Structure 1
Amino acid sequence: MATPSWTRCHIISLADFTPDEYDTVLQTAASFREVLSRRMKKVPTLQGQVVANLFFEPSTRTRSSFELAAKRLSADTLNFAASSSSLTKGETILDTAKTYLAMGTDLMVIRHRDAGVPQAIADEMDRLASNVGVLNAGDGQHEHPSQALLDLFTICSLLDPERPRLELLKGKKIAIVGDILHSRVARSNIWSLTAIAGMELHLASSPTLLPQEFADFGVGRSGQLQLHWQVEPALENADFVMTLRLQKERMSQHLLPSLREYHQRYGITRDRLQACNRGVKVLHPGPANRGVEISSDLMDDPEFSLISQQVTSGVAVRMALLYLMGGGKA
């Protein structure tokens, strides 16, 4: 596989991603999806390189997906767990990162509950002229770039399995419903889904979970962004609906009357999907609260749900990101 034009050493945010960079990720992921369909699912692209998964926050899907992606690229992996690390003895996060650097790490995948930690580690790696790439796997209420990219890949692959690309979003309406205030996934998806003109992105939730300042995310973007405090206008004629988990662990105050009332007003069900376009598909980044943000039967219905495809797409997309960031050093 020829290395496409790629100049980023780090992937911290999608705010300044260009359409060409999105297409590069999508096309590279499509190539790796083909690799994953073979009997022999490994390629030697990153053989001899070390990928360190530094997860300071619990994760199932993202951590496992990055670990599998690295192994499919023949990289050596180091997995960090905060609860059993020297952080419990007072070591700083930057000293932990420098320890992994001293072990010969080439790429660091960082997840942390506080926004800005991946950027701080990337800045330290640059200060040390280490040539180590840092990939943000989710930081606080900031961003989750790889999740938004796999969501984009899932949607574009459905529209054109052979050649997923950003321009396929033209003329499409996508609704994001749920706890947008606390969602790093929503923030990254806003950047990626509004990167092309001719598409509509609609955000819907209660006023406490969708403050008016989210309208600022749409300023200067190519795609159209609209906010709704009722779910019905967002779902009307939508082609794709993404529902988000209520992040109760991040809520520092009482923002909802009850989970039951939230489901009645904003939960995605078969009845609510009748307002959407025929053939509408539903996404969820997981983990999901069944019966709260989405009905359980809808999650498991392959006629509507793309949730399992999102998980599968995650490995191919993360292979693409690791390849693009590390391929030039192979």
Structure 2
Amino acid sequence: MSTDHSAKVQRDAEGRLRHLITLDGLSRDEIVALLDLAQFYARTPGELAARDQTLAGHTVANLFFEPSTRTRVSFELAAQRLGADVVNLDMQSSSRVKGETVLDTIYTLQAMQADILVMRDAEPGLPAYVAKYVAPHVCILNAGEAHLSHPTQGLLDALTVRQTKGDFAKLKILIAGDLSHSRVARSAWHAFTTLGVAELRIAAPEDLMPGKDEFKGATRFTDIDKAISGVDVVMTLRIQRERMSGASIPDEATYHHTFGITADRLAKANKDAIVMHPGPMNRDVEIASAVADGPQSVIQRQVTNGVAVRMAVLATIARNVQARRHFQ
């Protein structure tokens, strides 16, 4: 299913976001509004978490059919902090393992008055497919779709860059690693380009480079040392062996030597460059521990921002649905 189709499905008849399936098609103003609301909810570690009752009376169901720590927990916390009831469903506890179709699972939760469904699945196109069949008051949020899209991750990455580096129009950003299999990279590309990044670079070994029709406008590198030179932001990606079929990548030690983000490589970037990673990390494979835990790393800030961004998305979607009901 195309991202263009997903972009259309996620809007209601008046053009408001009813679901969030992809960042493709969101305007700069829409992304900025989500980031501004996330900043309102953002707190630093040690502060009391932001809370309100925007989702009071709502039920959020988290349907994770792929493993997750950061995304699942942050959606759960975000919903709870907005006053929602939260139900968690994973592959092991779902009747889907008994042969139940995903739509029957959705209809069951819908009958129990779950009205916001957060989905992660390895099947491309599934969130948009489900969005076509749910009741008018039900919203679908994509928490990670195959290799295609992870919109809230793209938003939290953009928020982290904005907080630490400021104006995108002045920045050079590098996304490096397993681009071919990365939904994170695709959503980050949508966010960064929509926000007007000055220069976006992508770098990967040849076997992990995406097709020429993807990441339009980005400068491509297969030499990480050239790619990292003079950039302001370094986002490195996990090697996703679970999505690979026949890619001839080297062993982990060789990959780290030839493509990993080490302290020596990071020194080629601008002195105040930040280092990002969506997690989970393969330490000393795509990123050296000294870099991941170093002074230029904002990886833990990304995790913190994940809750704030998901609060902003949940609140925005719920308000849009309420507005639709009000004018019907």
1:319 matched to which residue of 2? 311
TM-score, normalised with respect to structure 2: 0.90
The separation in 1 between residues aligned to 2:49 and 2:121, in whole angstroms, is 34
Structure 1 residues 88 and 212: alpha-carbon distance in aligned structure 2, compared to 1, 3 A threshold: closer
What percentage of aligned pairs have identical amino acids? 43
1:47 matched to which residue of 2? 56
Larger mean Cα displacement after TM superposition, 27-36 or 290-299: 27-36
TM-superposed CA distance for 1:103, in Å, is 0.7
TM-superposed CA distance for 1:300, in Å, is 1.0
Does the CA contact (< 8 Å) of 2:42 and 2:308 recur in 1? yes
1:30 matched to which residue of 2? 39
Mapping 1:249-328, distance limit 5 Å: 249-301=242-294, 303-328=295-320
Mapping 1:80-99, distance limit 5 Å: 80-99=89-108
TM-superposed CA distance for 1:39, in Å, is 3.5
- In structure 2, give the amino acid aligned to 1:78: V
Show structure 1 runs of 4+ deviating over 3 A. 34-41
The separation in 2 between residues aligned to 1:8 and 1:274, in whole angstroms, is 42
1:144 matched to which residue of 2? 150
TM-score, normalised with respect to structure 1: 0.89
Q: How many correspondences in the alignment? A: 309
Unaligned runs of 5+ in 1: 161-167, 219-223
| CA-to-aligned-CA distance 1:124-146 (integer Å, 9 cap, x gap) | 11xx4x22111100011110000
Three-state SS of the structure 1 residue aligned to 2:220 is strand
1:163 matched to which residue of 2? none
1:134 matched to which residue of 2? 140
* Alignment partner of 1:78 is 2:87: yes
2:212 matched to which residue of 1? 213
The separation in 1 between residues aligned to 2:49 and 2:197, in whole angstroms, is 40
Three-state SS of the structure 2 residue aligned to 1:208 is helix
Structure 1 residues 290 and 226: alpha-carbon distance in aligned structure 2, compared to 1, 3 A threshold: same
1:69 matched to which residue of 2? 78
Structure 1 residues 40 and 23: alpha-carbon distance in aligned structure 2, compared to 1, 3 A threshold: closer
Does the CA contact (< 8 Å) of 1:201 and 1:226 recur in 2? yes
- Which residue of 154, 158, 173 maps to 2:160? 154
Cα RMSD (Å)? 1.9
The separation in 1 between residues aligned to 2:247 and 2:43, in whole angstroms, is 47
Structure 1 residues 288 and 34: alpha-carbon distance in aligned structure 2, compared to 1, 3 A threshold: closer
2:239 matched to which residue of 1? 246
Structure 1 residues 53 and 269: alpha-carbon distance in aligned structure 2, compared to 1, 3 A threshold: same
Does the CA contact (< 8 Å) of 1:194 and 1:225 recur in 2? no
1:177 matched to which residue of 2? 176
The separation in 2 between residues aligned to 1:34 and 1:273, in whole angstroms, is 29
The separation in 1 between residues aligned to 2:122 and 2:49, in whole angstroms, is 36
Unaligned runs of 5+ in 2: 1-13, 324-328
Does the CA contact (< 8 Å) of 1:69 and 1:315 recur in 2? yes
Does the CA contact (< 8 Å) of 1:36 and 1:316 recur in 2? no
Does the CA contact (< 8 Å) of 1:68 and 1:315 recur in 2? yes
